Structure 1
Amino acid sequence: MSSTPDAGDASEDERGVVAPEPAVPDERLLAAHDLALAALYEITPAATVGAPADYALEADGVVSLRFETTLPGYPGWFWTVSLAAIEDAEPTVLEVELLPGETALVAPEWVPWAVRLAEYRAQQAAAVEAAAAEALADPDAADEDVDLGEDDDLDDEDADDDFDDLDAADFDTDGSPILHSGDVDGVDIDELDEDADRDEV
């Protein structure tokens, strides 16, 4: 004969499984703000401790009281004081620390150098494989002419005209144009000297 759980029994679900009762924090710990503040003032100036924020119920009935921090550069962080009370004893401080909240700006998780190096080498190997696969897929891509663009096109006729205007004396023995150290902005110093000689005669 199967038993049906009572509809008014809130501790059992539809399958008859008894749900654990929610843990209730010790009221003495929740009210121990003075004790928590005294512990904080031993490690940090009172000016760095802000208003009470909230609390967290830890394992074994430990309660962590959180206070806002006024330290510059620590938005979203909280001064945290963990308190405990054993049987009829007075609350005692277990730990005091500055911990980040959910919106705090924290450093990324540290990754060992060996792991980062392995990831880098894997990325480099993948890039090489991708380039090789692209070259195999389009072998003629490497032989294509480079597009210089409209502004970079060379006018062969203009280039020939410039060379036609030069005399044999303007070329060195190897066929390259002679550059005069005194030439400025296309003005040939030798021609200026010849003009000066004519004016003197």
Structure 2
Amino acid sequence: MTSTPDPTEEARPAEALAPVDERLLAAHDLARAALAEVTPAETIGDPAGYTVEDGGVVSLRFATRLAGYPQWFWTVSVAVVEGADPTVLEVELLPGEGALLAPEWVPWAERLAEYQAAQAALAEAEGGEDPLDDADQGDDEEDEGDDLSDLDDLDTADFDDDGSPLLHSGDLDGVDIDELDEDASDDEDASDDED
């Protein structure tokens, strides 16, 4: 008959020679109070073991009830300074064995280089030209004369404090300023009549 180990107890690593303060192993209330400062109490599950760290620190684990975090554990590291009560050092959510983890981050430049190499290899296998080269050539011809550095129309500095657009030189080419003034005064007269 095999007995199931108590989840609140774990074997200490062989390299941990210092005795463990029993108060740390029993500091579940202190750990729960610390967790309650960073997460709602209903997201904290049952005790799920502990780990003895270097320097006599004990990391107490609790199952998490957070949706989307199966096999993750709330972990509270506690310690005792000589002549004092146990204290909390750190609170964190850590993955356990079999937890779903995000893939390792790969810089954008590396991903782009891999994509371009794959596209070139595909084009070579098909006996054609690199599809990226064709796309670039067409864009160059169509974009000729475009100046992306001149984005005055999108610049937030081109709006007044009330959100009205500010005009730039060239914006009024071919516009009769006197007609604009007449239209504006007609609008003001119409609004005065309504009052």
The two structures have a TM-score, normalised by structure 1, of 0.51
Answer 1 or 2: higher relative contact order, Cα 8 Å, separation at least 6. Answer: 2
Match of 1:49 among 41, 44, 54: 44
Aligned equivalent of 2:180:
none
Is 1:119 the equivalent of 2:106?
no
Amino acid at match of 1:91: P
- Aligned CA distance change for structure 1 residues 21 and 80 (closer, same or farther; 3 Å): closer
- Aligned CA distance change for structure 1 residues 129 and 61 (closer, same or farther; 3 Å): farther
Question: What is the Cα-based RMSD across aligned positions, in Å?
Answer: 2.2
Match of 1:28 among 23, 26, 39: 23
State how far apart, in whole Å, the 2-side matches of 1:21 and 1:48 are. 32
Aligned equivalent of 1:63:
58
Is 1:106 the equivalent of 2:106?
no
Amino acid at match of 1:44: T
Work out whether residues 16 and 54 of structure 2, in 8 Å CA contact, stay in contact via their aligned partners in 1. Answer: no
Residue aligned with 2:110, SS: helix
Q: CA offset at residue 88 of structure 1?
A: 2.9
Residue aligned with 1:65, SS: strand
Residue aligned with 2:68, SS: coil
Gapped regions of structure 1 (runs ≥ 5): 1-18, 133-201
- Aligned CA distance change for structure 1 residues 106 and 123 (closer, same or farther; 3 Å): same
State how far apart, in whole Å, the 2-side matches of 1:86 and 1:33 are. 18
Amino acid at match of 1:54: G
State how far apart, in whole Å, the 1-side matches of 2:18 and 2:38 are. 31
- Aligned CA distance change for structure 1 residues 73 and 126 (closer, same or farther; 3 Å): same
Q: CA offset at residue 128 of structure 1?
A: 4.1
Superposition pairs for residues 88-99 of structure 1, below 5 Å? 88-99=83-94
Amino acid at match of 2:113: A
Aligned equivalent of 1:81:
76
Q: CA offset at residue 60 of structure 1?
A: 2.1
State how far apart, in whole Å, the 2-side matches of 1:52 and 1:95 are. 17
List per-residue Cα deviations over 1:137-185 (Å, max 9, x = no partner).
xxxxxxxxxxxxxxxxxxxxxxxxxxxxxxxxxxxxxxxxxxxxxxxxx
Aligned equivalent of 1:190:
none
Q: CA offset at residue 94 of structure 1?
A: 0.8
Aligned equivalent of 1:176:
none
Question: Which has more radius of gyration?
Answer: 1
State how far apart, in whole Å, the 2-side matches of 1:62 and 1:46 are. 24
Percent identical pairs in the alignment equals 70
Gapped regions of structure 2 (runs ≥ 5): 1-13, 128-195
State how far apart, in whole Å, the 2-side matches of 1:23 and 1:113 are. 46
Superposition pairs for residues 121-160 of structure 1, below 5 Å? 121-131=116-126
Amino acid at match of 1:93: V
- Aligned CA distance change for structure 1 residues 25 and 119 (closer, same or farther; 3 Å): farther
Residue aligned with 2:111, SS: helix
Range with greater deviation from structure 2 (54-63 or 92-101): 54-63
Residue aligned with 2:91, SS: strand
State how far apart, in whole Å, the 2-side matches of 1:24 and 1:111 are. 43
State how far apart, in whole Å, the 1-side matches of 2:93 and 2:115 are. 35
State how far apart, in whole Å, the 2-side matches of 1:20 and 1:104 are. 27
